[in-house]
Amino acid sequence: MSFVKVNEKFSPEERAAFLQKSLKSAGFGDISWVSSTGSTNIDLIEAGLKGARNLSVLIADHQTAGRGRRDRQWLSEKNTSLLMSVLFIVDDSNEQLSSYSMKLSLAACRTLRELGFDCVRIKWPNDLIVNQGNKTSKLAGVLAQTVIQKDQTLVVVGIGINVYSGTLKQRLSEQEIVALSDLGNPPDRVALAEMILKQLIASETSGSMLLEQYVEFVDTLGKKVRIQTGEEEIIGQAVSVTPIGSLIINLDNGGAREVFVGDVVHLRST
């Protein structure tokens, strides 16, 4: 089955069937693709609670209630983005749960670079960005959600990648947004999903090796940043990422802070 212009020619069910067959030997659970849903993350959490297998995947052409970090609305236009969530079932209580969002953002970044989009980098903690002159534009967002049970933890990591620009730039004119179609020839969304998922399995690592690979692509390190945590504003130079995924900031007054979550702005050097 050829998937040239698959978004126009094939149904969501056929796309899912292709991915299920292509990734059969990679250990994935059920792979589903739907035309529209509220949130792929929420749907996959519910599926996990009902017994869905590890590495189950849900992809949607459109989300009506997608959410980003700090419960912000995640807007998408039908058939223009890869909206994909992956379920990880974690049995080890000592596992660093933040590593799963690192793994997916790293797999996506590597895949896009393999496709020729060499300008793609990771903005801490897990957004994918593109630096264009003096501005930084957001290409993709990553959100992890967890449900802790008695004997295991469900971790669902969702990613939304702007493949085609559509009308999002007009609808979100106050934000710097970029799509793959703005940068070159965008890949087929089915092929992109397949490549990211294969990369996710092929580069399965943990601990110090994962951290080493992750920081290689983190654009935030070495830059002066302003971080809004919700409680305070922190300004300083980002110097390192810890094994649990937090960011170490050297403050202008000579001190240092460890930031676990926050909205980051890269400041221009003066």
* pLDDT for position 8: 52
Residue 73: pLDDT band (50, 70, 90) is: low
Using the predicted structure, report yes or no on whether residue 95 has a pLDDT greater than 80: no
- Asked if the model's pLDDT at residue 13 lies above 90, the reply is yes
Looking at the chain, the domain(s) classified CATH 2.30.30.100 span 224-266
Contact 80, 166 (CB under 8 A): yes
pLDDT at residue 169, rounded to an integer: 62
Mean pLDDT calculated for residue range 49-69 = 86
What are 135-179's pLDDT values in tens digits? 889 999 999 999 998 889 999 999 999 999 876 665 555 568 899
Q: What is the mean pLDDT of residues 246-254?
A: 91
Report pTM: 0.90
Pair 140, 111: CB distance under 8 Å: no
Query: How would residue 37 be classed by pLDDT, with cut points 50, 70 and 90?
Result: very high
In angstroms, rounded to a whole number, what is the distance separating the alpha carbons of residues 258 and 224? 15
Which whole-number Å values give the CA distances from 195 to 50, 116, 158, 176, in the listed order? 28, 13, 16, 26
pLDDT at 168: 62
Asked if pLDDT for residue 259 goes beyond 90, the answer is: yes
B/e letters for 17-36, b = 16+ CB within 10 Å, e = fewer, are ebbbebbeeeebbebbbbee
Measured over all CA atoms, what is the biggest interatomic distance in the chain, rounded to whole angstroms?
Answer: 61
Is CATH 2.30.30.100 the right assignment for the domain spanning 224-266? yes
Considering only CA atoms, which of 20, 51, 49, 14 is closest in space to residue 34? 14
Confidence at residue 2, expressed as pLDDT on a 0 to 100 scale: 39
The structure tokens listed for 210 are 């994962």
46-57 as b/e, with b when 16 or more CB fall inside 10 Å? ebbeeebebbbb
Q: Which residue from 255, 218, 10 is spatially nearest to 125, judged by alpha carbons?
A: 218
- Tell me which of 3.20.10.10, 2.40.10.120, 3.30.930.10, 1.10.10.10 is the CATH number of domain 6-215: 3.30.930.10
Between CA 187 and CA 21 the distance in angstroms is 20
What stretch(es) of the chain map to CATH 3.30.930.10?
Answer: 6-215
Q: What are phi and psi of 239, to 5 degrees?
A: -115, -25
